[in-house]
Structure formats: C-alpha cells, structure tokens
Amino acid sequence: MQKAQDRRYDVLQSSSELGWSNLFAEVRSYGRGGGTHPADPETKIAILLDGSEGTSVCRIGGSWRLSEHIPGNVWVRPMGGKYDEGYTATATTIRVLNLHLTASVFTQLGDYYGLPAALARSVRYVCGEQDEVVNQIGLSVLSEMMTPTAAGRMFAETASLLLAARLLHAHWDAGSVRLPIERRHRLDERRLRRVFDYVEEHLADDIAVADLANVACLSIFYFTRAFSAAVGMPPHRYVSQRRLERAKTMIAAGVTSIAEMAFMCGFSSQSSFTRAFRRATGSTPAIYRREYGS
C-alpha cells in the first residue's frame, strides 16, 4: 500500500488496529494533484465520500478515462494492476474510502464454487462508476471502522466476501460470475440450534464467521446468506446483540467491573463497549447499573 508519487493526502481513519483479516480500510483526504500508483498485491476499491465538484482522470493501458466527482462513485484496481491518475477540484480536498481485499478472499470463493484461478487478477478496472452495492457495503465498513462493535472482525470477514462476490458479478473481465445456489444443505432448525449453542458457549472468544459456517457444515458465503434469511439479521449482528444482552445481565448483577465486562463480552476496549451499549440501550453501562442493579 504505497503512497502515490507527488500526491498529497492525510489518513483520517484506519482499520489497522482492529485486527481485521482479508480487508483493510482507510479514509483519506486528498488535495489537488496526481501521481503514479505502483502495482499492488491486493485488489483496491476507492469510494468517493464527499468533496468538491471536479473530475478525476486515470490512464489505464495507455488510454485516459475521465470521471466526475460524484459521492458514491467507485474506482477499482485489480490485484497487480497499476495506473497513472490525477484529479482537479474547485476546493482543496476530497474524502475517499479505500478498501483493500487480499487475494485469499477471492480464492475462498473460487475454491468452493469451482471457479477459474486468478480471479482477483480478472477483475476489470473501474473508473468513477456508480455501484450502489459496493457503495452500501463500503459505508457499512466505514461505520464499523468509526464506531467498532464487539463483532467487528466477523463483520469485516463477511464484508470482504460480499465485496469480492460483487466484483466478480459486476466487474469481471470475462463478463460476470453467478455463484450457484446451494440447494443441498439448508440452514434447518437443527443446524441453526447448533450455531446458537456455539455462540452462547464462545461469547467471550473471538468468533469468526468461518467458525459458525463450520458448525453448520456450509460454506461461509452461503451460511451468511442463509443465516440472515433464517434469523433476520447477519451473523455478526446476532453475535453483537447476544454479547450486549449478556452485558446487561452482568451489569444488573454487579458481578464485575465495567472494564472487565467489556473484555469478557468481546470488546476491544471499555470505550468501544460503552459506545455500543449506549447505541443499543440509550444509556451508559454506569447509568444502567444504577437503575437496574441489584
């Protein structure tokens, strides 16, 4: 993730301390300028968050492409790709969300569904196009990065798969990839109960979506969709909800300090636990303990 030559930018937010796998996210503010980006070992997605009216130009394979600065516009550079780019703007800065996907997330999809090798290198360049699916996933990643939750790692794992699947479906050089529907194994009551039991037993642990998919004997990608359809929320949100419910019980019982409770419920810090608790209940842990403590 090297800096473009002669480009001025500031890093405003980063996922580097969140322990995410397969996905790295960073919010940057860019000033006027341009530069050359070297080949990258990861697939890069850039989403324009906000900024001045203006245009961007990218040189890909010897030809220049022009795109308008419209919030939500998406740029994609495949793994190993490089191009020259620059932009002009009427104001000094724009804010961009950069998402980097490792090759392993494409390999996961390819291996399970029997797709061709080197999928990450087959994603086409995208220069300032609207893709509402990518944009919405990106905004969810941004929200998680700005306000981490107890299931943030699970969310990042799911988001990386969804982004890779979207790129293969809508931005693949050979057309599009339609992942087959797995009809042989559905998330029936027995499988769902095994997943619920596993979550309850490991609420204090670092649960991964892969762990839950293994319990259900399904692929990660299919499990995520099937669980969401069966429960009404994605796995990471369910785990986060269960951790907060346990926290409410522990707070009311007064069995431990709030700092220890944050760790026991899978939060990275007391501050992130407090923010998540307040969003869920409208109250801080300390106030909740005073009101409902025994």
Kindly report the CATH number assigned to the domain that includes residue 281. Answer: 1.10.10.60
What is the band of 194 on the pLDDT scale with cuts at 50, 70, 90? Answer: very high
With contact defined as beta carbons under 8 Å apart, do 122 and 174 qualify? yes
Residues 123 and 30 both lie in one domain: yes
**pLDDT confidence of residue 270:** 81
Residues 266, 47: Cα–Cα separation, whole Å: 30
pLDDT beyond 80 at 45:
yes
Of residues 200 and 94, more confidently modeled: 200
pLDDT beyond 50 at 204:
yes
Residues 50, 53: Cα–Cα separation, whole Å: 9
**pLDDT confidence of residue 196:** 95
Residues 75 and 142 both lie in one domain: yes
Domain that holds residue 214: 189-232
With contact defined as beta carbons under 8 Å apart, do 4 and 25 qualify? no
Q: What is the value of pTM for the model shown? A: 0.76
Q: Is 234 exposed, middle or buried (0-12, 13-18, 19+ CB in 10 A)?
A: buried
**pLDDT confidence of residue 57:** 65
Of residues 172 and 105, more confidently modeled: 105
Residues 74 and 217 both lie in one domain: no
In a domain, 179, yes or no: no
In a domain, 201, yes or no: yes
Residues 145 and 199 both lie in one domain: no
**pLDDT confidence of residue 212:** 93
**pLDDT confidence of residue 50:** 85
Q: What is the mean pLDDT of residues 216-239?
A: 88
Cβ contacts of 228 within 8 Å, gap of 6 or more = 234, 235
> In 3D, which of 153, 96, 115, 100 has the Cα closest to residue 272?
153
Of residues 177 and 189, more confidently modeled: 189
Residues 33 and 142 both lie in one domain: yes
Residues 48 and 129 both lie in one domain: yes
In a domain, 102, yes or no: yes
Give the pLDDT confidence of 2-17 residue by residue, as tens digits. 444 445 678 999 999 8
**pLDDT confidence of residue 177:** 58
**pLDDT confidence of residue 90:** 46
Q: In total, how many domains does the chain have? A: 3
Residues 32, 273: Cα–Cα separation, whole Å: 39
Query: How large a percentage of the chain has pLDDT more than 90?
Result: 26
Residues 116 and 18 both lie in one domain: yes
Of residues 186 and 158, more confidently modeled: 158
Reported residue count of the chain is 294
pLDDT beyond 90 at 27:
yes
**pLDDT confidence of residue 89:** 47
Q: What is the mean pLDDT of residues 148-167?
A: 89
Give the pLDDT confidence of 75-132 residue by residue, as tens digits. 998 887 665 555 444 456 788 999 999 988 888 888 777 776 677 778 888 888 899 9
**pLDDT confidence of residue 81:** 67
